[in-house]
Amino acid sequence: MDIIEQNKIRMNRLSANSDGLLRQIQSLDWDELETALVECIFKKEESGLSDEYGPASYFPIIPENPVQKTLYEKAYKHGENLIREAKTSAFTVAGGQGTRLGYNGPKGTLPVSPIKAKPLFQMFAEQILGISRKYNVTIPWYIMCSPLNLEATTIHFKDNDFYGLGRDNLKFFAQGVMPATDFKGNLLLASKDSLALSPNGHGGSLKALIESGSVADMASRGVEHVSYFQVDNPLVSTINPLFIGLHDLQKSDMSSRSLTKTGPFEKLGNFVSTGDRISIIEYSDLPEEKALEKEADGRIKYRAGSPAIHILRRDFIEQFASGERKLPYHRAEKKVPHINENGKLITPTEPNAVKFETFVFDALPLAQNPLILEADRLEEFSPVKNKTGVDSLESSQSDQIKRARRWLENAGCKILDNCLIEISPLVFPSKIDIERKNFHNFDFKKNLIYLD
């Protein structure tokens, strides 16, 4: 391909005076770059879906009939057994650059809890440890970083004594990177010694789980299921018995949680189905007329949105090892600072470059027997993505406080209005754990409650 040859010639010339750049050029996977260029620049990106798709069906969070109720009870117990038998692991994707938030450091180190200012990583760690203790089991936790934040992430955990989980039960690894190009496919340089590189998207996690030895580690521990969640959602249920149980009972390769969208155009991926295949299409790819379609009862048809919470079977991930199964590249147009031919740093004010990313949800249409389980948004989803407004630290803290209040009020506690509340996930990893507690001797007449 001409553009690949042109890039090689130009990079050979530019790397003559830079060992750093030379090393990058030598280790660059040119075939992979060619694939990405073809998929994102030289051929119009296609969703791979015909227009024949319809809304995907899902298991509602509240069972709708006695048969479903019995199934959920069975699934919950089954999920608990799988957890107890050490068949589950937690997996966090934390390799993103968090540009919208603009926080200086790995996003997982951002303090988020409303009273104790616990970082995101601590919130997950405590929940995982709480569940491990409850089921008297070790739950290994795999954390995917990027080459840019791997070191800072591991230092954070070391400084915090791995939050009590034990060094051996945590595995940190870096995902792959891809070089950015201009809109014609020419590689960009971040400096005279380096290409402009960025993480290859959360879809890079499948390959990274294999190449880092994480999947082999899971196999040696007897782990069968990988509970996948993003680094930015402190409300996530990291290891959910009902979800795990349903997924395993249905022999699903990959299962997902869904949220009921707040409206037809909410910016969440949409679950759609063609036959027995489930896919997620981006909100921008759902045509307006489809987005507005309604059921007879008035609810929008395409109401199942994705909060990016999945369970994958370990042996399904292994199928991506040989390279025969691959995820497609998506084109992201971004502002990428770079140096020009004269070595001058250009800081664009408009998108000037293409970043190539793969998305983990593109594995869903390849999965056998996939299923979707609805999640209650107020209970399980309030991510920190933006500096202000929707999905910000402020909105997430407010949701954390509201959830804590609901949990306590459900358990029969009377709480003052405007009380600031935080519940330790170590002691109460889920709502059920609060319901089981007897609070008779606890004084709730306070303006601030930290429950641990």
Residue ranges that bind ligand UTP, judged by CB under 6 A: 93-100, 144, 175, 199-202, 204, 230-232, 385
Smaller CB separation from ligand UTP, 278 or 309: 309
Quote the least distance from Cβ 312 to ligand UTP, whole Å.
15
Instruction: DSSP letter for 57, please.
Output: P
Quote the least distance from Cβ 355 to ligand UTP, whole Å.
9
Instruction: DSSP letter for 160, please.
Output: T
Task: State the amino acid at position 329 in one-letter form.
Answer: Y
Which is it for the CA torsion 187, 188, 193, 194, positive or negative? negative
Smaller CB separation from ligand UTP, 107 or 338: 107
Among residues 411, 39, 324, 2, the alpha carbon closest in space to that of 423 is found at 411
Contact 308, 255 (CB under 8 A): no
Instruction: Compute CA distances 309 → 105, 201, 339, 381, 452, whole Å.
Output: 24, 15, 38, 10, 27
Smaller CB separation from ligand UTP, 139 or 145: 145
Write the DSSP string, 74-91. Answer: HHHHHHHHHHHTT-EEEE
Smaller CB separation from ligand UTP, 97 or 160: 97
Task: Give the CB-nearest residue to ligand UTP.
Answer: 96
Smaller CB separation from ligand UTP, 119 or 204: 204
Quote the least distance from Cβ 443 to ligand UTP, whole Å.
38
Contact 227, 244 (CB under 8 A): yes
Smaller CB separation from ligand UTP, 212 or 273: 212
SS3 262: coil
Smaller CB separation from ligand UTP, 97 or 319: 97
Quote the least distance from Cβ 57 to ligand UTP, whole Å.
26
Quote the least distance from Cβ 158 to ligand UTP, whole Å.
20
C-alpha count within 13 angstroms, C-beta hemisphere, residue 255: 26
Quote the least distance from Cβ 203 to ligand UTP, whole Å.
8
Quote the least distance from Cβ 378 to ligand UTP, whole Å.
21
Quote the least distance from Cβ 149 to ligand UTP, whole Å.
9
The number of residues in the chain equals 452
Residues with Cβ within 8 Å of 33's Cβ and at least 6 positions away in sequence, in order, are: 4, 7, 178, 179
Smaller CB separation from ligand UTP, 15 or 392: 392
3 state SS for 324-378 = CCCCCCEEEEECCCEECCCCCEECCCCCCEEEEECCHHHHHHHCCCCEEEECCHH
